[in-house]
Amino acid sequence: MRILLVGASGTLGRAVAAELGQRHEVIAAGRHSGSVQIDLTDVDSIRKGLQQAGELDAVISAAGKVSFAPLADFKPALYGDSLHTLGIADKLLGQVNLALAARDHLRDGGSITLTTGILSEQPIVAGTSASLVNGAVEAFARAAAIELPRGLRINVVSPNVLVEAMDSYAPFFRGFEPVTAARAALAFSRSVEGAQTGQVYKVF
Amino acid sequence: MRILLVGASGTLGRAVAAELGQRHEVIAAGRHSGSVQIDLTDVDSIRKGLQQAGELDAVISAAGKVSFAPLADFKPALYGDSLHTLGIADKLLGQVNLALAARDHLRDGGSITLTTGILSEQPIVAGTSASLVNGAVEAFARAAAIELPRGLRINVVSPNVLVEAMDSYAPFFRGFEPVTAARAALAFSRSVEGAQTGQVYKVF
């Protein structure tokens, strides 16, 4: 298979590339790195990146930014002025737009795999934006799965906090059981190399 | 209790008012009706509406618009140009902003109750935006619940399609088991008159 991996230079992305690269051609994409430049908040870069990547059997996102801030810092505000804006523009609509562009580009029977995280189900303090975005992406994927044409599939991987991220994230994730990026990467393999659709693969 | 009910003139809102109005003072709010004018996409109207309503023990939203359209009509596009815009601005950020404004206004121990729907879990064709928005609101409420100050609570009611809406919605909800608005209204009573927080009360 030919697989486009957005967020290939991140901790999770590197593990996904290591797992799938053993059996497939993985084309690395990122904002500032990789052989293809894709910024999830730039629709043109998504379209051009897919064109540049050529024929594809799978598109994976291991990318997506959100704002972490105490709920007290969130004020009622419209999109653009809200602390929710980054998460909605990047990890939410960015991944949705990647999926929609991939729908128009993938070979028949291809797959789309997006990334969320445990906060959709199990919240942490300062994580309301991450929770909101993760819940949205998971529900979108369940819904898109029943309408995708040409045998295309879509799934989500929702990992726990990563072992490799605990240096900086440990204080926010006390009592959470971190998983290695390599273990989370197996769920991407299950999505890409399996046959299910509309699934949320929880790695927790 | 003094309860502000946004969307009071809708099918669901009228049933909620009938249920809670038996025991409490329900202040009706809506875009163009009710004793208080609140448009969820207008932050100033939310703030002014809460001020106008005075001291409150509960704020309920039985409102929120989304776009229904086949997935094929959704193109990769930024917020503002995307078919997801209405749902994100109205049912998603509108209800989040109502919750954030209510946080700053409710009496100690007060409650916030938002509305989603079965599509967060069980999708229908043309419902990707509704699913996305419902999933986002449910995850937001779970997360906000652990950070709300002063004993405030937040829950979500997720009803099945309403019996009263089947005249127009039946073709989209074949095989779904419709519930009466009166039955869905009981879940709002459970949220407002109960003591739980961070819950999604599924009426399906």
ipTM of the complex: 0.98
For residue A47, give the nearest of B76, B128, B135 by CB distance: B76
CATH code of domain A2-198: 3.40.50.720
Contact predicate A133/A79, CB 8 Å: no
Distance CA B90, CA B136 (A): 12
CA A81 to chain centre: 24
A51 touches chain B (CB under 8 A): no
Q: Count other Cβ atoms within 10 Å, centred on residue A109.
A: 11
Q: Look at B76 and A140 and tell me if their CB atoms are within 8 Å.
A: no
- Interface subset of A 11-40, CB within 8 angstroms of B: none
Which tens digit of pLDDT belongs to each residue from A156-203?
999 999 999 999 999 999 999 999 999 999 999 999 999 999 999 999
Which tens digit of pLDDT belongs to each residue from A2-16?
999 999 999 999 999
Stretch A108-134: mean pLDDT: 98
Q: Look at A101 and B76 and tell me if their CB atoms are within 8 Å.
A: yes
Of the candidates B10, B3, B57, the residue with the CA atom closest to the CA atom of residue B27: B3
**DSSP 8-state class, residue B154:** E
**Domain ranges in chain B?**
2-198
Chain B residue numbers with beta carbons less than 8 Å from the beta carbon of A175 are: none
- Interface subset of A 149-178, CB within 8 angstroms of B: 149
Tell me the CA distances in angstroms from B87 to A13, B28, B90, B93, one per residue in order.
Answer: 31, 23, 5, 8
B105 touches chain A (CB under 8 A): no
* 3-class DSSP assignment, residue A52: helix
Q: Look at A123 and B142 and tell me if their CB atoms are within 8 Å.
A: yes
Chain B residue numbers with beta carbons less than 8 Å from the beta carbon of A86 are: none
Which tens digit of pLDDT belongs to each residue from A13-39?
999 999 999 999 999 999 998 999 999
CA atoms within 13 A on the CB side of B90: 17
Q: Look at B101 and A76 and tell me if their CB atoms are within 8 Å.
A: yes
Joined tokens for residue B46: 């939310």
